[in-house]
Structure 1
Amino acid sequence: MAEVQLRNVSKRFGNIVAVDDLSIDVKDGEFVVLLGPSGAGKTTTLRLIAGLEGPDAGDVLIDGALATGVHPSDRDVAFIFQQYSLYPHLSVFGNLAFPLRSPRRRSSEEQVRARVHAVAQMLHMEAKLDNMATHLSGGEMQRVAIGRALVREPKVFLMDEPLSSLDAKLREELRIELKRLHRKIGATILYVTHDQVEATTLADRIGILEHGRLVQLGTPREVYGNPVSLSAAQRLGSPPINLLPPTLFNSAAVPTGTATVAIRPEDVLLHEGNARDAPGAPHPRDALDLKVLEYSPLRHLLILEHAGTAVVATTMVERNFSPGQSVGVSLPARSLLYFRADGRRIPT
């Protein structure tokens, strides 16, 4: 395996800046997920590393060597696309063996068979080796696409939303398979997705991309618990983080320049009776009586309203909440995040 480094890389397509002065280090054997909305520059970043696009500025390094200008076939990276891109006229065995039979990687037939069977066993596809690719399910086809990359034993795996076209059950199964494979082979993986569940379950570190720029890079816990910006705070969390006006709070306790106060739904505290009598309430203005709008007992999801502002809370309290009911809520100061109008986090 190998480390990957991007040094001040930029890429434009006409007037569109797809990647903007991006610098990132991916360690040897690390699983890094690039997370962001459509148009954030995630796929372009992978294509720059693979050599399918050339940077307008900056450098790409693979295993410490400058890869900028090196032909894609000489970079020793494997690209797994969103669509399976299998050869329909070949069997599973033929698809898996194809990279090993190419002129650049010519292997003996004995070596090909040994490697294909080892990878098929790893992916639980041994019984399907004689099946034509067109006779496989979606999950099986994606396994073959992953296996076709694995047989090459490249330095780096680049995965562009490989699970997005599968149904929810298959996505969950293959997420588990990918994590298991990573632990087994210790591969260096850059994985692109807009799905926060994939990001938080797969990643050693998550890179949040917005408009081609790296907003934050850290472990899932770091990005979730200590976001550097409003966009990073909104990227992780289900249900999403609450965004509240500072007028809901004691003005003396809100930092100067605050435009938005945020709090995770699981940090909202519920109380029996009037919120102002709640023990440990941070301040009368921070302890509110809210009206119930909706309650989902299966998800323990409570949606409340105060002065036109919705507040979402998750609770394991064993009680029923009815629409219109008044509920006491505290918003602990230790759980509040403050952001400026431009989205930058205000340290506290």
Structure 2
Amino acid sequence: VTLQILLTAKKILNPSKPIHMFGLGLPQFFSLAVASGCDLMDSAAYILFAREKRYFTLSTGTKKLEEIEEFPCHCPVCTQYTPSELRELEEPSQIELLARHNLYLSFSELRTIRQAIKEGNLWELVEQRIRNHPSLVDAAQVLYKESPYIERFEKVYKSHGRMFSSIESLQRPIIQRYLLRIQNNYRVPEGVDFLIIVPELDVRGKSSPSVKEWINLIDNNMVISRERLHVVLLSPVFGIIPLELSETFPLAQYERSNLMTSKHAQEHCLKMISPFFKSHGKSYNKCAIIVPEEYTNQFDEVVKFTEDHPINEIKSYIEKETKINCTQFKHIQEIFEFFKITESL
């Protein structure tokens, strides 16, 4: 409810007007509040929890002093005292020292947030923090539902690549932006008749040894004119990535975990490709999907292609939604004859 009120206020107020939140609570919540539009804040949680002999951590929320064997923090309090030494002090001293630690940690988190904003990594920080408690994961859904609104304020370019490490990463505004632009701003190259979809592998775009080899075979084929072939990558994060855009930000500057091939991620990928085909599907007479049995990774090792990659699921979707004649192939060389049949009909 707090985040919903904050986001509603942010939409109504002039963006130049700062919003102050009273009683923000534990440090784990700070980054989520800032991402939702909070500019200023205060909190008495540091002393309130200290009175209950509770010690702030960023990884597990609060801990009772009596349960702690080692202090994970390096603040002046935690480096001067051990938990057992702190427990031996009089209660007022315990409360004061715990309050100091809690305050140190709170200010440390604020500095971390400011640095994340400067580096353009606030979303990554939010995703780290919400994993500390299920209620934070639930609260974050309020923020993610507002991605279309937040996207308007997201920077077009950032100096660092993006890290997509969890399912929550798939709900970021930067993905919403790509979805809108590929649907509304992108144009299929003139003269194209055939679509070739290749999987994005362990490294992005043409940096992959196998993708580079496939592109070379396509470019030098003697069967179908290259101008009639449109090559796109299928990314578990961004969906359809036209090859000509594959070296632009953020499509070439991101890392993803293997979670991006989970069932949830596959559903996300199908959602991402839908606008592309609704806007551009009529440009293609046929579609060839490359689903290799194996590929060469960035270490020049030949490895088995994962069955969980969303490219395994898109054939039926494309045929159902677009009526394009679509076939899967294991090898690039096979697709040219598939396209050539159209020439002779």
Q: TM-score, normalised by structure 1?
A: 0.30
- Structure with more helix by fraction: 2
Bigger relative CO (Cα 8 Å, ≥ 6 apart): 1
Q: Please tell me whether Structure 1 or Structure 2 has the larger radius of gyration of its CA atoms.
A: 2
- Structure with more strand by fraction: 1
Q: TM-score, normalised by structure 2?
A: 0.30
